Amino acid sequence: MAHSSGGRHPYPRSARVNQILREVISDELLRISDVDEQIGLLTVTGVETTPDMRQAMVYFDSLSSEARVALEERRAQIQAAVNAQTRLKRTPKLSFMADPAVASGTAVEDIIRRQHHDDQ
């Protein structure tokens, strides 16, 4: 019996889940930002779930201590939105942190800027 590839997806389930979580969390943060201006300044750069889907790290372009506190205070609300808008068996516990790739990129840009300034 031949297997049909019609139902297959071009990338792994975890990548699809991460993208869905990123979209749902971004939308929920946009709604929350009307009430909490600390959250309005945040951009979700990515989400990474553990293989068992029990936990998810949500990465932001930057994350001040005030914004981190605001996210922690609204974690249940954000997780409830994830639960309501996804078909996951369980809602992963969300954790929040600044995206290390963004921080590295900013550091590299600063070095290049300084080098360019020194060359002139």
pLDDT tens digits, residue range 54-94?
999 999 988 888 888 999 999 999 999 999 999 888 899 99
Residue 95, SS3 per DSSP: strand
Q: What is the count of structural domains for the chain?
A: 1
If phi over 0 gives left and psi between -120 and 50 gives alpha, with beta otherwise, what is residue 53?
A: left
The pair of three-digit structure tokens given for residue 12, joined into one six-digit string = 């792994």
Q: What is the CATH number for 110?
A: 3.30.300.20
The pair of three-digit structure tokens given for residue 15, joined into one six-digit string = 């990548």
Q: What is the pLDDT of residues 14-55, one digit of tens each?
A: 889 999 999 999 999 999 988 877 777 788 999 999 988 899
User: 19 lies in a domain?
Assistant: yes
Residue 46, domain extent: 13-119
Task: Please name the residue ranges forming H helices in 1-120.
Answer: 13-33, 37-40, 65-73, 75-85, 100-119
